[in-house]
């Protein structure tokens, strides 16, 4: 499955796009895509998955994400079946003119745009407050929308309630062959991480020898294939640990680990917590 280029055109009378999607079957059909626009995604509630570049993590109670241009990503409401709404804002860097961000009054927003190239997830009061403001933006006229968007960007720029997702290592440069290859690998891991996601098969799927694939994968993701698979499995385990009905051993098995001690060791290495402690202090993001 290839990362599709998404062409985004603002509607007449607007310099940016803002759309709202309410809970519906179509919302839960994500596609792997990228675009040159910056993107704000607000999800009102519920649990879902972030897959941005080589970053994979779950959110537990809605999310507010700001991404820079050309970061390939899936839709964020995959596996999210609770009643919810999703608001998406997309804008080009020069949506108000080539020199607009260079104005001294825009310094904080310019820094925000730079940080967003790694992917940002906002939480706490910032997420709740900006979410309410985005809901109101949908009701405004064109000029009021623009003023409110600038004000929202300024609030995000000054907020300290965010996490860097560190997804910039896979921004599209743009190389279609790399996109095809990495999507094939990501798709293979996503389909097989609970069983046998092995190096030989991953290399075969992209028509490379194992040594060449190892060098290639490490260059693009800054991780070994084994590290990536383990992080994918541990991220899935974090989601399962929110369910008290599953034992730690059950979570280990459902996440693709057949050895409990190996699971405990990998979990501690990646999250800094034992599975038992993590369950007690559920964290929302594992990078």
Tell me which CATH code domain 4-169 carries: 2.60.120.10
Which residue has 């390939």 as its token pair? 72
pLDDT for res 285: 40
Instruction: At 170, list the tokens.
Output: 């896979």
User: For residue range 181-206, what is the model confidence (pLDDT) as tens digits?
Assistant: 877 888 888 889 998 899 999 999 99
Mutual angle of helices 260-271 and 225-240, in 10-degree steps: 90
Q: Within the chain, which residues score under 50 in pLDDT?
A: 1-5, 7, 11-13, 25-30, 172, 174, 283-287
CA dist., res. 1 & res. 138, Å (int)? 33
Which residue has 């929302």 as its token pair? 284
pLDDT for res 283: 47
pLDDT for res 286: 41
Domains 4-169 and 175-280 share a fold: no
In the chain, where the domains are located: 4-169, 175-280
285 touches 57 (CB < 8 A)? yes
Tell me which CATH code domain 175-280 carries: 1.10.10.60
pLDDT for res 55: 76
């Amino acid at each position: 499955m290839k990362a599709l280029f998404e062409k985004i055109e603002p509607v007449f009378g607007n310099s940016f796009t803002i759309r709202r999607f309410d809970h519906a079957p179509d919302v839960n059909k994500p596609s792997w895509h990228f675009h040159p626009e910056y993107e704000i995604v607000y999800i009102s509630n519920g649990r879902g998955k972030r897959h941005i570049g080589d970053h994979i993590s779950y959110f537990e109670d809605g999310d507010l994400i700001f991404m820079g241009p050309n970061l390939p990503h899936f839709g964020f409401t995959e596996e999210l079946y609770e009643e919810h709404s999703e608001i998406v804002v997309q804008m080009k860097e020069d949506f108000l003119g080539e020199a607009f961000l260079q104005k001294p009054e825009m310094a904080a927003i310019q820094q925000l745009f730079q940080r967003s190239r790694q992917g940002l997830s906002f939480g706490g009061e910032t997420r709740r407050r900006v979410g309410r403001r985005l809901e109101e933006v949908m009701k405004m006229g064109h000029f009021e929308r623009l003023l409110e968007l600038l004000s929202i960007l300024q609030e995000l720029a000054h907020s300290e309630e965010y996490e860097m997702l560190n997804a910039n290592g896979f921004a599209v440069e743009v190389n279609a062959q790399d996109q095809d290859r990495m999507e094939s690998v990501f798709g293979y891991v996503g389909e097989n991480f609970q069983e046998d996601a092995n190096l030989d098969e991953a290399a075969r799927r992209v028509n490379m020898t194992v040594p060449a694939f190892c060098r290639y994968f490490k260059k693009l993701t800054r991780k070994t294939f084994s590290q990536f698979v383990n992080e994918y499995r541990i991220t899935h385990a974090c989601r399962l640990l929110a369910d008290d009905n599953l034992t730690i051993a059950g979570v280990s098995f459902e996440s693709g680990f057949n050895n409990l001690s190996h699971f405990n060791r990998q979990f501690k290495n990646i999250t800094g917590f034992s599975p038992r402690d993590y369950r007690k202090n559920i964290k929302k993001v594992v990078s």
